[in-house]
Amino acid sequence: MDRKGIFFTLIAIAAISLFLVSYTFYKGYSDRTTTHDRIESLNAFIFSVEKNLERQIFISGFRSLFIMQTESVEHGGYILNATSTLNELFFNGTYGGVDQTIMLGAKFQDIQDAIQLNANKVNAYITLSNPSIHFTQSDPWHVDAVLTVDFNARDQGNLVSWNKTETYISKIPIEHFEDPLYLLNTGGLVSNNIVKTPFTSFTNGTSVTNLNNHTASGYYKANNQAPSYLNRLQGSSSASEFGIESLIYIPKISNQGIIIQDKTIVDYIYFSSNTPSFCRITGTSSWFKIDQTHLPDYNLTGLEYSCT
């Protein structure tokens, strides 16, 4: 009986030990699975937050550009510093200290509040700290709203967390915004919406039909000797690698009773104090004058023209 008792006791101990080992292994595996699942779910949530953040920056940047353009015309002056003005709009929702209704829901705090509201639904905390934002351009037809921020996220159970510094860029198309050069140089009487020209060539043999249509439509083309949209917004005629320009359709200005200048109709030169010599092109209207530097830009060097 003693031998049998010892035998059964050893079996019982072995069984209990096996159970404990199995339980510990299962619990560890279960914990790892839970943590892994939590990481995967929060990763997916954070990805959606970041994509939505780019959209929110786009909305804020678009509204800010609209306000800056509108306010500059109403007050008859260019934006002295686009970045500082954007910061005021983005963080305070004000322009010159005055609340701007259309910035409601587009300010930084509004964006952060909306993110946390959604984070609560998945038991997470997300904070955006040390934010900075500025406008720049990386091509002629878009303004980039660039937000750099410390992105911190964790789940409410403190299982997982993320801490990183990220830069988010939203590209805002400038097409169909009004050109500040026209508005501010005509006392707000003449506006010209920025529309990219559909023409890749402005002449066909001796025909200048495309050139005339381009001019009459107020279209724009890229030119690295012209000012960019941001330069135009700030009243600068400095050349930019992301510059754009139009040819002024003089009847549009003269019809408003504005005195016409006898100079090239390239917009940023016409609205400046520069007076380079200009050329008259056969087949164009008498008011069509263009400086020699721009002749090759519009495929005009092979046509008949006379310069002064």
Does 187 score more than 50 pLDDT?
yes
Mean pLDDT computed over 278-290: 96
d(CA 101, CA 67): 10
d(CA 69, CA 182): 12
Nearest to 147 by CA among 259, 59, 31: 59
Summarize pLDDT for 5-22 with one digit per residue, the tens.
Answer: 565 555 555 555 555 444
Half-sphere exposure of 26 (CA within 13 A, CB side): 6
pLDDT, the chain, mean? 88
Summarize pLDDT for 216-235 with one digit per residue, the tens.
Answer: 999 999 999 999 999 999 98
d(CA 84, CA 89): 9
Asked if 152 contacts 163 with a C-beta cutoff of 8 angstroms, the reply is yes
Summarize pLDDT for 198-213 with one digit per residue, the tens.
Answer: 999 999 999 999 999 9
Query: How many other CB atoms are found less than 10 A from the CB of residue 188?
Result: 12
**Residue 46 pLDDT:** 85
CA distances from 68 to 50, 85, 194 (A): 27, 8, 16
Does 159 score more than 70 pLDDT?
yes
Does 80 score more than 90 pLDDT?
no
**Residue 31 pLDDT:** 45
**Residue 34 pLDDT:** 56
**Residue 122 pLDDT:** 84
Mean pLDDT computed over 64-84: 88
Higher pLDDT among residues 290 and 155, named by residue: 290
Cα-flanking dihedrals φ and ψ of residue 17, to 5°? -60, -45
Does 26 score more than 50 pLDDT?
no
Does 28 score more than 50 pLDDT?
no
Residue 130 sits at the vertex; the CA angle it makes with 125 and 131, to the nearest 5 degrees, is: 95
**Residue 25 pLDDT:** 45
- Using pLDDT thresholds of 50, 70 and 90, give the confidence band for residue 74: confident
d(CA 186, CA 137): 26
Summarize pLDDT for 109-155 with one digit per residue, the tens.
Answer: 999 999 999 888 888 889 999 999 999 999 999 999 999 999 998 88
Does 257 score more than 50 pLDDT?
yes
**Residue 100 pLDDT:** 96
**Residue 27 pLDDT:** 44
Question: DSSP letter string over the chain?
Answer: -HHHHHHHHHHHHHHHHHHHHHHHHHHHHHHHHHHHHHHHHHHHHHHHHHHHHHHHHHHHHHHHHHHHHHHHHHTTS--S-HHHHHHHHHHHSEETTEE-GGGTTTSHHHHHHHHHHHHHTTTEEEEEEEEEEEEEEEETTEEEEEEEEEEEEEETTSS-EEEEEEEEEEEEE-TTSBPHHHHHHTTTS---B--B-S-S-S-BTTB-HHHHHHHHHT-EEE-TTSPPHHHHHTT-----TT-EEEB--HHHHHTTTPPPPSS--BHHHHTSS----EEEETTS-TT-EEEGGGTGGGT-TTS-EEE-
Nearest to 117 by CA among 52, 198, 163: 52
d(CA 170, CA 53): 9
Give the torsion sign (CA, 232, 235, 237, 239): negative
- Using pLDDT thresholds of 50, 70 and 90, give the confidence band for residue 88: very high
Domain boundaries, the chain: 2-171, 180-307
Predicted model pTM: 0.83
Higher pLDDT among residues 277 and 118, named by residue: 277
